[in-house]
Structure 1
């Protein structure tokens, strides 16, 4: 068809095909600025007032800063703080020289440039001739509101720009309520870019901007109009490079006038394929934007491209890239192009991987795209397109179990994965989830930066095919593509939860539960997360029923105590339910770690028994004597009991009547576990010994005699000791005193001391009298004169001088002489005519100095007992006197002394 839309050249209003050239002076001036690049020194302007006007000393206005930078040319930065900058002096025009101006606002929400009704017109007019090269403008963080073109037909209600090697970069800005007066109907309600160069828009918002129509022209690009055409200077056509990039921006409620095109964006490129090299370049990218409720009304066959109109006549190989955008609620009179229209051109438009508001793509969704029919070679590609898909992390699910749900645009209609980095247009878009046979939780309410939103689906109790449908924009709640299907299987139901249990170690305890469910149910008991198995546990207990509804623990111990016994019940469908935790308290019965020990004490003292025990709960004690429970207080036998119901029993003022071998204690627990009884312990209370039979008062014994004294002692005695005159008698340590071979020195008072650990007792006194010896020897030596080796005899009479008979053993010692050789014959009864009793005597001849004769024969009072020795003088003896003495041991010595001379009273010896 014939394109009825007239695109304005900024040089002359109402321009036709040929353009009127600039005046020669103007052209020369432009070229000079371009060719010699007279750049001024870079400046930074800090705007400090919101008032409109030219800057003065100390005051920097927005308009004044821009005009000053423009006048200098070169690189400049203008910082515009937060505030509303109301323009009352009309359009701010700059770009008259090659320059690079950056305008930094504090943010689109806080730095606002507003066109007022006074001198109302567009806001910025950049490079008004369109012939100045290298005009580069960067605007960041500013909102443009209420721009209203009234002065010309070039377009751009807020900004118009463009020219050879020009660039306009707009980032994080907002455009609201900008328009073109109906009498000046043209293109680009907010921005018009014509004459070549580069327009880049990123992260901006365009809201309720419009490009109306009139009798001369139909509106195009309610928000943005970009036209790439040649133009002439002095009838010489110029073919500049062109580039458009619109990314990460939001277009809402923008519109064109009746029968216009491109409610939000119009992009149009003329043919350059026949131009001689070097040919210009063209790049069009519209990506990751959101187009909502933009419109292109009209009548008949007019009013197309509610969001975008694209005309690519640049070359057969050139492709406009319109991808990863969101189209929702856009309308056009020609509904087939309610969102996007591509006119009959030789170039192509790639509109694949866009979202058209539903999962059916641009032919079935309310937002549609189509190529205006014609005979040119250009194409419009809209497939594959983005789709909203919902997936479940797992299926089937058992009732009560949950799974993660993810809905998003990460897979297109061809099943190809889409990178999250291409889905920024969806960040913050509302999403809801509808479900059957389950409930949703933790659902994100907007699409995240990943291009997805997540939720959690929890299966209900009703089995069947559950669903989760995600709803975004115009996707119906029952859309199959946006649906995740989840098979829900009913889990068993615990109808009787296991109860907590308390038991004593060594007993048997059970946990019981009941469950219902379809099919055959299986059971598994757990202690925490550890599955239990039948058999010995290794800690002394034994389990049974671990895979049944009843778990039994035999001989439980401390190791079995826990708060998290639970039962998992499973069905044949693979579903399971876990019972609530049940606790097991295992009380340890009382156990004695230290038994009471046997003890003893002295009468009148305090004795005690102790026990050490442990066990669960509070322990109580009861002491017994045999089977008789003891009670605190007096016993009735003089002693008193304390601690009868504690771990320590005491008996004060103990007496032997308290003695027993079976003291014991019974220990019980508040837990009710089986009591324990200690082993028996004995008590021995010791009293000091008692003399039950005193010794006789006294006795008289001859020297050499013996005596035996007996004392009877009752009670426990650990030692006996006899004393004479208060001095210890060595060796006499029994209750009987035995003295033999008494001597006169042993006479005196004797007593016995009997002792034990609790005291001693002293017997009465036994008086011992030792009588001196009453034996006296008489010696008879014959003859009195001896010659040579003549025989001679010695007779000893032992006389009893007192009136008491002598008994016992006594000894007579006769001196030996070197001249004599005597012998003893026990068979003799007479020696030298004197009567002797040799048979009752015994001779010990081993002593070198004495003949020792011993007898045990008693001698009656006044009587005598005699023995006789016979022998001769030795031949070698010299002449002299022989002396013979006899001693009765241990008393007196009697000597018979014979003179060896002629007298008969002397014994004299002469050698023969």
Structure 2
């Protein structure tokens, strides 16, 4: 076991924290949660890894103070922390108690080292010595240090780094471990800002700890090689101290702890005071809908949230009971939820308030799910119009023919019997929802459907459609798509379907049917040529076309009576394999689900 460096008798409770169990970023202090222009002693922001307030140590009367503005580091890939810095002003009068000072702050167990701590810790910070009086009054002692016990007892000093002409025995930047021989970092002191990075390898075995220190390492390519390493040590500390005993100005900033090199150099710094990163978005909609106002803040320690509401978005903000997450969910927005909302993110260091989002809802009109469809019906037949809709309250209906109200037609379905040409017109329905009346006494909301037309035609008798595919009927030899001869029972042109690239085409000569009783045509025919590559069925030898039927041949839910259809068909059977050769009837479109009848091979 490693020996504790203390001449005191202590009763200790030790928390063993395996390196693999720690989060990469353990602590970040950018001095942003402090009071600028005030010395550190007594300041106690909530910074992960620290316990209690900064404390003055009997080292002089001029302790480091928080100063506005952060140090700027010129090295590439460093993630700056922003915030403020801790500094001491230059004093050309010499080095004495009036211009020297030391402060310390206790560390929580996650950042301390005891005789049983194992694993790896990384520590980094920015440091600048102004070097204004380097000739007349040298940099006697400007360091960041780790101590075990009071920083007023030099024997308890475990690690220190910075500039110290006498203690480090060099005018360069350096460090010292365990109050023993110092190490030279071989960078001359100057007025620039420098990045110090320290790796502590901790073991429970005596004299097995090591320390590696880099100054201004190359960042962005993983942990660098090099640095200056000291081995064979027993490291024990419980506090961090900043000391200035020099007539030159000094400053520290961005003190970070982590368990990887990147976590203390290139990973973004989480601010100590909450910062809003995601703003809530205003919403305009209808009563009864669901919506979530969402915001988000970053901070260390993590913030808590409280949503607030105001009638005008300016004053009179009050807490929304129970809404203490970063989201405010409305599962069923009510009219009373109208207003302005914001969220306040708070931790021990301060608070941040989001932008204001407005929620504005009104009672919705009925929502039509299925519009009435136009209908064609034979004279004397029946026409049916229907609508499907939803509402918050009770739905009422009123049907119209043109602009004329149809008395008594107050259902979701309008049925017209024995229709005649005089019934041809546009039909619509007006829907009303009394949800707002029931809940808040508002007038009912209304909406009109689209207009559906009724077409009445004379019922067919005998043969009413014959398509001989003849040149005489208006066809031309070639593919069917876009051909539009006037054939009774059909409307519009033949249309290609995305089924392949070889659609049926008009070819000369009609099919010959052997039954002498059949009354054949003398036209041409629609055909697809043989593809002699047996077994290969591809887009290059497949195709589909369709043509719309007019009301005399179309069938709907109210069609009654008997229809006959006939056609001639021939499959050449040249290659023996027939996958699909059909005449089909579809409804609405040619999707397979809408195929109503097909016949062939």
TM-score (normalizing by structure 2)? 0.29
Decide which structure has greater strand share.
1
TM-score (normalizing by structure 1)? 0.22
Which structure is higher in RCO with an 8 Å CA cutoff and minimum separation 6?
2
